[in-house]
Amino acid sequence: MFLFLAAAVSCISQFTPEIVSQNSYLTVNGFVTDENRRYTVILGISRPLDDTSDAKPATKASVSVRDDLGNLYFFEEKSPGKYVSDSTIFTGLARSSYTLLIGYNGKEYTSAICTLRPAPPIDTVSYELYDREINASGDREQAIRVALSTVDTEAQCHYFRWAFEETWEMHLPFNYLTQEKRYCWKTEVSHNILIANTEALSEDRITDLTLTTFNNSTDRGQFRYSMLVRQYAVSREEYEFWDKVKTVSENTGGLYDVTPLPVKGNIQCITDPEEIVLGYFSVSGASHKRIFITNPLIVPDLYTHKCVEDIIRANNTLPGLGYSVFILSVYEDLPDRGIGLFWAITSNKGCTDCAYMGSNVKPDYWDEGFGK
């Protein structure tokens, strides 16, 4: 019996699957809406799976958009690989069609012809404070869920995509800093793919779609939080593209997961039709709605432990004071340390001004939305 087991074990060897390195592809992320704003086309060169270097921008390209009347609108490269339109010249129009044109590295690329569908207005953006279980022991926590409902009463838009921008107020809890250095506002854009379709439904209605959730591990819900949601009316082809990208991005990593194959979009190389081009040129109408939420969660102090390195007796001759050592808070008579003045100090300059973590410029909609 022992010999049999030994023989069986000796037959087991580590399996290392062969990974075939992918080529690098031109990637395109372009967007035109009916909003009066600058539109952006981002060009890059994708990396093979075995390449861990940073993605390379595709620079010095010619980028333009042609409408169905033959007008050309040119995009200027504002930073490496980022091409931007002139909002005073070009604004997308509902029911007009647009084509993206790219010249890069001696080759010509074009998108499919895309029609701009008007987006219905967002019905509601709401939030709820709820308890959720966080482990097998039954421990619970409070969390915020932000959700959206929408309906197209004209039944013209069956395919939707959403993106959002969240902004929240941050306060550093250090009394030595001025209010200007203690307060700031941080903004982040959504990264998840949010799509839905009503093709199988009796009406174009989306109800209570979760946009995001957060708990008190972030300071989003500590003071004041706002979210701007944009709703896009997309074509069936674009919806299917994002659905494939979502499937690949959410199901990679395991041996039996979806293979991370390139997801082709609506762009082709007309110079070399066999060349694979990644990405999508999106043309869609947009509607938007903003929500304001005031201190919905009790959030623990997230910064004292991160920033305060020591508490010492006040000492104006401390070496490096104001250069490599900074005062965060001043205390008088600490029971565990004695009588007199004490300083909470740090060597992290980023803890001395909230603007290092966000912006010290209050958004122009802030006071109006929340009330002073």
Segment 153-200, tens digit of pLDDT: 887 889 999 999 999 999 999 999 999 999 999 999 999 999 999 988
* The pLDDT of residue 166: 98
Tens-digit pLDDT profile for the chain (372 aa)? Answer: 444 334 444 344 444 444 444 578 899 999 999 999 999 999 999 876 555 556 699 999 999 999 999 999 999 999 999 999 999 999 999 999 999 999 999 999 999 999 999 999 999 999 999 998 888 888 889 999 999 999 988 878 899 999 999 999 999 999 999 999 999 999 999 999 999 999 888 788 999 999 999 999 999 999 999 999 999 999 999 999 999 999 888 776 554 444 456 788 999 999 999 999 999 999 999 999 999 999 999 999 999 999 999 999 999 999 999 999 999 999 999 988 889 999 999 999 999 999 999 999 999 999 999 986
Pick the closest to residue 64 from 281, 266, 286, 233 (CA basis): 281
Residues 6+ apart with CB under 8 A from 170: 183, 184, 185, 186, 219, 222, 223, 354, 357, 358
* The pLDDT of residue 341: 96
* The pLDDT of residue 257: 47
Residue for token pair 């201190």: 295
* The pLDDT of residue 202: 78
* The pLDDT of residue 163: 97
Pick the closest to residue 276 from 289, 267, 285 (CA basis): 267
* Per-position b or e across 322-336, b if 16+ CB within 10 A of its CB: eeebbbbbeeeeeee
CA distance 248 to 240: 12
Distances, alpha carbon 77 to alpha carbons 38, 73, 101, 261, in Å: 13, 13, 14, 29
